[in-house]
Structure 1
């Protein structure tokens, strides 16, 4: 198995509207798959066009550094895709049609530390360690769980070639 990681970097992400679904457990669960299908179905029903990346923000317990890749049963996740221009009422109507708990949320602008991981999701541990090491070396602290921005479709791309941004929102230690 071959993996690679780019050097971590800091960037600012503007506030934006997202379609989201919250859940628990690992990506192998039925709920995770249903959430993904619901997000893209609602997005399409609202007129969303183009290929957009899926994002997943993951936490586990109260320790933002304590995320355990080997214990997905304890994961809490929020899956998201960029929202087309739509009202909360339109999202609720579309979500109801699909029987899905999709919500419209406005994310806040934030500074993130980010690294590109190339390879299977199961091999992200060194990339996450590099990301959190970079955060500490910059005198920053995470303010929430880490987010994975999936740039490749695992249904069509071999695991060794999957491209995923791993990022974490940060702030200066005071």
Structure 2
């Protein structure tokens, strides 16, 4: 008789970084983690953005199924996340000029996923479907450390006021300054959930204002 498989791991429930409340800014220390990543530039309402999403998810599910089959370790595929930045960050936080945005889309992976497992998953996906941007997907670490985050409920285009309060009030009022890239965690599937009901964690890495 086969050995009973362990319970499915859901990192959203065990990691502090996936907890946030609307209307509250919270400081937390985010551990180093590894993600599937793919980079892009420009307006997210374009085919380039959709192609990046379509490359990430098949690899994420291939890794999940391989882990369950080969290691007896099942896990919930994590939500889509994104790092966002621009040469002039006002084009992101204030003007919302999407044509100037750079981004990295990501899906968090458990720490037992290896580079070899990732390579095998990519080849599995290539043989089955071969998404356009498959070769742009990578498995890479992300180190953020001290961060401030909050929960935004509503349209992505309504984030500007929340980000202004985060960057212009909470961060300096706590003797901090932004460092690293703006990070969003899409708790809602924006392909299916209407804009007014979308739940998004907004995160910003920070450091002491006196640090070099």
User: Which bracket does the TM-score occupy, shorter chain normalised?
Assistant: 0.7 to 0.9
Q: TM-score, normalised by structure 2?
A: 0.73
Larger Rg: 1 or 2?
A: 2
Q: TM-score, normalised by structure 1?
A: 0.88
Determine the structure 2 residue equivalent to 1:114.
149
> What count of residue pairs does the alignment treat as equivalent?
170
Determine the structure 2 residue equivalent to 1:15.
32
- Between stretches 16-25 and 155-164, larger displacement belongs to 155-164
Q: Whole-Å Cα distance in 2 between the matches of residues 135 and 26 of structure 1?
A: 27
Shift in alpha-carbon separation, 1:57–1:17, aligned structure 2, 3 A: same
RMSD of aligned C-alpha atoms? 2.0
Q: Whole-Å Cα distance in 2 between the matches of residues 95 and 71 of structure 1?
A: 34
The structure whose residues are more often strand, as a share, is 1
Out of 115, 124, 134, which is 1:88 matched to?
115
Which segments of 5 or more consecutive residues in structure 2 lack a partner in the other structure?
Answer: 1-20, 66-74
SS of residue in 2 equivalent to 1:53: coil
SS of residue in 2 equivalent to 1:157: coil
Which segments of 5 or more consecutive residues in structure 1 lack a partner in the other structure?
Answer: none
Shift in alpha-carbon separation, 1:173–1:35, aligned structure 2, 3 A: same
Q: Whole-Å Cα distance in 1 between the matches of residues 179 and 34 of structure 2?
A: 20
